[in-house]
Structure 1
Amino acid sequence: MDLRMDEAVPLAAALVSRVAEDHAVRALILKGPPATELGIRSQRPSSDVDLLVERDSLPVMVEALSQRGWRRRPTTHDGEHPLHSVTMYHPQWPSDIDVHYAYPGLESQDSSVFEALWERRRSTTLGARAVWALDPTATYLIQALHALREHNKPINISERRFLISEAPRPDWEDLRDLAQRTGSLGPLRAFAREAYPNADRGTFPAPSLEWLRRTEVTEPGVFRLLHLHSLPWARRPKYVLQGLFPSREQLAATDLRLLDAPARTLALARLRRIARFAMRLPSAGRQWMEQRRQR
């Protein structure tokens, strides 16, 4: 199979919609082409499908996709922060599928968030198949939260500018009500004050510490340092060793070829990882101290 990315993403969306239907799973396409269709996302190409399901449906979808040749993408995650999705890849498919049971910035209980978004579903067509996507207000909320994560990245700055200056903005009262139901008023605060300057400033609670870290931390090592500090002393040496000498699967998170690489290649990859960490340690240390002061 030799799919272009602009073919692979719609077909993957159609696939997960069919799989969800076959297993009686309620599933929503969160962003990507449906958001572009509404003019709420810029025309840049999508590289994956973001699917939201209920927490109990996550293992059902992962298993069903596994039976169709999809595999869990390795991750570097080692307990630093809560996981909210499982990423699936296919050896013959250029795009991934991210199966979410939660979404960063939507901080209400997972089941409440899903019901609020499910009420906002709309039907659209991807890969010649009807799929469930989100209405304009919910789409705008998801795109805003996505653009606020790692807020200093150029692509996220560009997306926020697009949302404020070019995308059709939903009615503030409608967006506010959805944000209240999904627990995203705090995370949305900085963006909403710019996009909706007349909104009542007393509406917004303070963002959570977890959200502030998602938006402010640019060095991945910071999360490991913060998690290390939270562990009992007896567990810290093992965690440090795991960070310095990660498993084959963790190394393969950035290069799938390492899953089957010989021992020498794996050793070189570990050395390069340590070298990268050493180079970025001063910056990570500064950010770590800043985050410690915010606690």
Structure 2
Amino acid sequence: MPEKLPDEVSVPLPARIRLSHAYFQNLANANDIDLLHVKGYAFGTEVYAPNRNSTDVDLLVRPAHVARFLYLLKKDGWRSLTTFESGSIFEHAATLYHPSWGLTDVHRYFPGINFYDQAGAFEKLWEKRRLKQIAHFDCYVPQLVDCRNIVVVHGARSTGHGLHSDVLHLQRTLTDAQWQEMRERIREFNSEIAFDAALGDIEKHRGNRQYLFWKSAAEPTPLPLQWLGRLQRAEGLKQKLHVLTNIAEINDDHLAMTLGHEPTHQEKRHLFFERFERILRWKNK
């Protein structure tokens, strides 16, 4: 797990995160890698409420460049905390840690932005990219309407009661015309279902095979229904078998981050059987 930074290299977190954005962009520039800085200080008060802080850097990398980018990071002293497969049910981001720079999430796609055409979705975002200075360094970020849509679909993963605070901020501050622009743009990505899930309108999509998946992402949902949603969303036998395998396996990386140490065999065994106890409790309600 990430060790505490030594006092002699300790830097205030907001400054270190901003400097990390510049570091990543410089690395990408030097190696012909296309990446977009997303969320956090990359979006800033154009999108988020004032005084909102960030604890890591989120990067969306052109899918064809992801493997090379991860190779360069590991060569530069970064180590993996989670892989794409172990990071979340979306399998979208790998988390890496560096003792000086801190944490970063490297995204190979952004959940809610056209899962079924990840390369095409990145290209659409890349075509409308813009430069924004972070730590006095030119970094690539999406156009403003795409930034807003990314924040909205990210809110669809809150699994809480009510709308995510970032979505509520956009509702308070944007005009009807700006929301209409966002809706028109999200249609270009065929991503209306995640957009509506974030706004509490998931029922508009009942009957869509992604309906239960996004409903369980946006709302508290029993574990068996979460699993069913993942299976319904998967295309073809290969993807469905992949989902079943992931459901059956214990996610060692995620468990280690939750516990704060490498899980023991006893802890992994307990988690494995605890899943089925939750299913039985749900069935007996």
1:215 aligned to 210, 215, 218, which one? 218
Native 8 Å contact 2:90 2:111 kept in 1: no
2:256 aligned to 240, 252, 257, which one? 252
Secondary structure of residue in 2 paired with 1:105: coil
Q: How many residues align?
A: 265
Match of residue 235 from structure 2? none
Match of residue 127 from structure 2? 119
Root-mean-square deviation (CA, aligned residues, Å) is 4.1
2:187 counterpart of 1:180: yes
2:65 counterpart of 1:54: no
Q: CA deviation at 1:63?
A: 0.9
Counterparts of 2:69 and 2:112, CA distance in 1 = 23
Native 8 Å contact 1:6 1:45 kept in 2: yes
Answer with 23-32 or 114-123: which moved more: 114-123
**Which residues in structure 2 correspond to 1:135-214 (within 5 Å)?**
135-152=143-160, 157-166=164-173, 171-191=178-198, 206=208, 208-209=210-211, 210-214=213-217
Match of residue 108 from structure 2? 101
Q: CA deviation at 1:15?
A: 1.1
Counterparts of 1:186 and 1:239, CA distance in 2 = 24
Native 8 Å contact 1:150 1:218 kept in 2: no
Match of residue 43 from structure 1? 51
Native 8 Å contact 2:83 2:93 kept in 1: no
Contiguous gaps of at least 5 residues in structure 2 = 1-8, 233-239
- TM-score computed with the length of structure 1 as normaliser: 0.72
Native 8 Å contact 2:193 2:205 kept in 1: no
Query: What's the CA shift string for 1:46-95, capped at 9, x where partnerless?
Result: 1111111111100111011111111111359569845112221113333x
Answer with 16-25 or 110-119: which moved more: 110-119
Equivalent AA in structure 1 for residue 166 of structure 2:
E
Native 8 Å contact 2:161 2:219 kept in 1: no
Match of residue 34 from structure 1? 42
Query: What's the CA shift string for 1:87-110, capped at 9, x where partnerless?
Result: 21113333x111112111112511
Change (3 A) 1:74 1:252: farther
Q: CA deviation at 1:43?
A: 2.6
Match of residue 261 from structure 1? none
**Which residues in structure 2 correspond to 1:213-292 (within 5 Å)?**
213-216=216-219, 240=248, 242-243=249-250, 251-254=255-258, 257-258=261-262, 266-267=263-264, 270-272=265-267, 275=270
Answer with 46-55 or 160-169: which moved more: 160-169
Counterparts of 1:158 and 1:150, CA distance in 2 = 10
Change (3 A) 1:78 1:26: closer
Equivalent AA in structure 2 for residue 139 of structure 1:
C
Counterparts of 1:27 and 1:10, CA distance in 2 = 16
Secondary structure of residue in 2 paired with 1:88: strand
2:132 counterpart of 1:129: no
Q: CA deviation at 1:171?
A: 2.2
Equivalent AA in structure 2 for residue 174 of structure 1:
E
- TM-score computed with the length of structure 2 as normaliser: 0.74
Equivalent AA in structure 2 for residue 126 of structure 1:
I
Secondary structure of residue in 1 paired with 2:258: coil
2:33 counterpart of 1:25: yes
Native 8 Å contact 1:29 1:52 kept in 2: yes
Counterparts of 2:273 and 2:147, CA distance in 1 = 40
Query: What's the CA shift string for 1:105-158, capped at 9, x where partnerless?
Result: 11251122112111231211112211011222111100111112134168x632
Counterparts of 1:22 and 1:212, CA distance in 2 = 42
Q: CA deviation at 1:28?
A: 0.6
Counterparts of 1:187 and 1:207, CA distance in 2 = 13
Contiguous gaps of at least 5 residues in structure 1 = 195-200, 259-265, 290-295
Counterparts of 2:282 and 2:37, CA distance in 1 = 34
